[in-house]
Amino acid sequence: MLAKIHSAGLSGMDGFLVTVEVDESDGLPKSVIVGNVSASVRESLERCQVALRNVNINIPPKRLTINLAPADRRKDGTHYDLAIVTGILRSIFLDNASFIDDYGFVGELGLDGKVRHVNGILPMVTEMKRAGLSGAVVPEPDIQEALVVEGMDIIGVEDLPDLCRILENEASFMRFPREQPVVSVHHESYNVDFSDIHGQSFSIRAALIAAAGGHNLLLSGVAGSGKTMIARRIPTILPELSREENIEITKIYSIAGLLPEGSALMNRRPFRTPHHTITTPALVGGSSGSGVIPGEIALASRGVLFLDELPLFSKASIEALRQPLEEKQVTINRLNGSFRYPANCMLVAAMNPCPCGYYPDRSKCHCTESQIRHYQRGISKPILERIDLCVEASPISFREATGSDAGTSSGELRKKVHKAREVQRMRFKDCGHLLVNADMSAKDIEHFCPLSDRSRSFIEKIFEMKSMSMRTFHKVLKVSRTIADLEDAQEINISHLSEAVSYRGLEDQLYGNRENFTPEGYHRKCNGPEEKLCKNQEDLAI
C-alpha cells in the first residue's frame, strides 16, 4: 500500500513542504530512502526500525521504498523521522487513515521510541499553514513554539506509543489532547541603564540618534572611556518588538537551535557580541554538520551587533560585512542552493586609537606612528562609509567620574526614540519597504530629505571641501533627517547638517589629510556637536 505523509524542510529562513511517500510491497525484505537526501535522512530509516522494535511494534518482512518529494530539493536533518515512521505504520497497518492527510509531522526519533526536539519548528509549521494544512504533530517540547502560528491545530507527542494511540482511528485522533494557544506577553527587563554613565554626553547623543534612526555607530576612544558601556545600553532605548519582528527573531533562533528552552517567543531585541577571533562563516553564516545555519549578523537582526575591538577582527570578516550592511540581508550560495537570512541589525563597533589604547597621550602611549596607522587602517574606507556615525569617546575627568549627578536615564532616551520612530512611521506609511531613516535608498533620500537653498549651499561646500563620496553624502542626509525628527522639525536645516557632518570626524582622521594624523588633529575635547565642527565648517555655517 502507498502512504503519503506531509512534512516540511528548511531552506534559509523559510520552510518548504515535503511529502514522504512510503510504498510497501512483497518481495525480498529491503528498505531504501530516495529523493535527494543527506546521510542524516538516510540514517532515519534505521532509527525508525529500531525504535519500532524497542516499543514492541513488529514490522513484517516487506520491501519498503521511501521517497521524499520533491526530489529536486535537498533534504537534510533528523526532523523527518516522525513523518517516515508514520508513513511506515500507515502503509502496513492502517488501511483507512485519511483523517491525517491535512496534518504535517515533524520530529526526531530516539532508539527508545521517544520523540525529541528539533530546530526550526516555527518556520516549518508556518509553511504547513501556508500550504493549507489544518495542523501539525510535533514533539511535546516544541508545542509552545508551534502554537505561535495562529490557526493551526497542534498535537504534541511524547513517544511512539503516543503516536500509535492517535493513529488508531479518527475518533482517537480527534480526542487526543490539544494544547491551548499560548498568549505571548513581552516582559523586557534590563540590568543596565544609561544613567550609570557619567560624562560622555556627546557619545550618548550619538547613541540616541543611532537608535532613533536605526543607524550604524562606531565609537572610538582611549581604553576605559566607556565605549562598551554605551554599546551595551543601546538595546534599553530601542522600541519594543512588534509581533512581526518577534516572529522573525524567533524563526532565526529556532533554526540556529538557540531558542531558550520553554520559550515560545524571544522577548527582547538581540544583542550579539562575538569575539574578535570569530571566523567569517560564523559571522555571516555558513555550512555546518546540520546544514547551512545563520551567522552572528543574522542572529542580531532587529537588534544590535556589537563588534568590540573592531581592528582586531580579521580583514576578511570585516570586509564580508559590506554587502549585508547595505542590503540588510545575507545570501549564502552553496552547490545545493542559495540561502537567505535577514541582516537588518544596528552595527555598533568600538575601537581604540592605537594597539595599546592610549594614543594621543604620549606619556602612556609608546606606539610608533606606523604602528598606529597600520592598526587603524585595519578598517577600510568602504566599511567606514557604511557606518553612519563615527564618534570619539573622550576621556572623562575625575569630577565627571565621581559626580553625584545621574545621567539621562534609558527611560527618558527611549521616549525620545519612540517619538522619532513615530514620526518616521507616519512619513513612511505608504512605503512598505521603509521602517526607519537608515533604510532609505538614494531615490527615497531625494523625496524625503529636501533641502532649502541655504542648506544646499552649505552642504555643497562641505561636500567639496571633504571630497565626500556619494555614499557618505547620503549617510549625512539620513542622519540629518533623524536629528530633525528628534527635534520634531519638518525641514532639515544647517544645524542638523552640521551635527551630522561632525559625526564623520573619524573618517577624516584616518583617510583625510596627513596633517590630521597628529595628537592635536586626532584628539579634540568635545562637549557637544557644535564644538566638533572644524573652523572651516563654522565659517560656512555663518
Q: Which of 202, 201, 221, 206 is nearest to 506 (CA)?
A: 221
Question: pLDDT at position 169, please?
Answer: 83
What are the pLDDT tens digits along the chain (542 aa)? Answer: 788 999 999 988 889 999 999 998 887 778 899 999 989 899 999 999 999 999 999 888 888 999 999 998 889 999 999 999 999 999 888 877 888 999 999 999 999 999 999 999 999 999 999 999 999 999 999 998 999 998 999 999 999 999 998 888 888 888 887 766 554 444 566 888 898 888 888 899 999 999 999 999 999 988 888 899 999 999 999 999 888 999 999 999 999 988 887 777 888 899 999 999 999 999 998 877 667 889 999 999 999 999 999 999 999 999 999 999 999 999 888 877 788 899 999 999 999 988 988 888 888 888 998 898 888 878 888 899 999 999 888 877 777 777 766 678 999 999 999 999 999 999 999 888 899 999 999 999 999 999 999 999 999 999 998 888 899 999 999 999 999 999 999 999 999 999 999 998 777 777 664 444 444 444 444 444 434 444 444 444 44
Q: Which pLDDT value is given to residue 542?
A: 41
**pTM for this predicted structure:** 0.86
Where are the chain's structural domains? 2-175, 194-398+412-541
500 touches 476 (CB < 8 A): yes
Q: Give the pLDDT confidence score for residue 286 in this predicted structure.
A: 83
**Residues 480 and 449 sit within 8 Å (Cβ to Cβ):** yes
Residue 77 bridge partners (DSSP): none
Dihedral sign (CA 275, 117, 32, 336) = negative
pLDDT, residue 390, reads 92
Superfamily grouping for domain 194-398+412-541: P-loop containing nucleotide triphosphate hydrolases (3.40.50.300)
Tens digits of residue pLDDT in 402-431: 776 667 899 999 999 999 999 999 999 988
Q: Name, in order, each residue with C-beta under 8 angstroms of 140's C-beta and a sequence gap of 6 or more.
A: 115, 156, 157, 158
pLDDT at 535: 41
Q: Cβ atoms within 10 A of the Cβ of 183, count?
A: 7
Question: Does CATH number 3.30.750.200 belong to domain 2-175?
Answer: no
CA distance 459 to 455: 6
pLDDT on residue 339:
87
Q: Do 2-175 and 194-398+412-541 show the same overall fold?
A: no
According to the model, what pLDDT value does residue 180 have? 61
d(CA 465, CA 537): 9
